[in-house]
Amino acid sequence: MKLKKFVELDSEKCNGCGECITTCNKGGIKIENGKARLVQSSFCGSFVNCIGDCPQGALKIESKKLSKAELENEITPNAGCYFSGRYDINQWVE
């Protein structure tokens, strides 16, 4: 099973300072009601500057195992297609 990495926000620790927004070059964080909110939590590759710049330590990288359905969606997003037949989906991932 493939692991998916994503950014997680602890809203209890967030003080809404906005430091994460200034360093996120992916536009994945917004301030709403005085707190940061993740717009896109998918792992940004090597561009996770927001985590180190959060003075409250409210951001961290987590990972979870993807189910077969989630993995199929990762491979074929918004394409309206799916895997069927005799092929093992694990041959299509790292």
For 11-24, give the DSSP string: TTT-----HHHHH-
pLDDT in tens, 46-72: 566 677 778 999 988 888 787 777 777
d(CA 15, CA 3): 30
Confidence of residue 89 (pLDDT cuts 50, 70, 90): low
Query: What pLDDT score does 83 carry?
Result: 53
So where are the chain's domains?
A: 3-85
CATH architecture of 3-85: 2-Layer Sandwich (3.30)
d(CA 94, CA 83): 17
d(CA 55, CA 20): 9
- Model pTM above 0.75: no
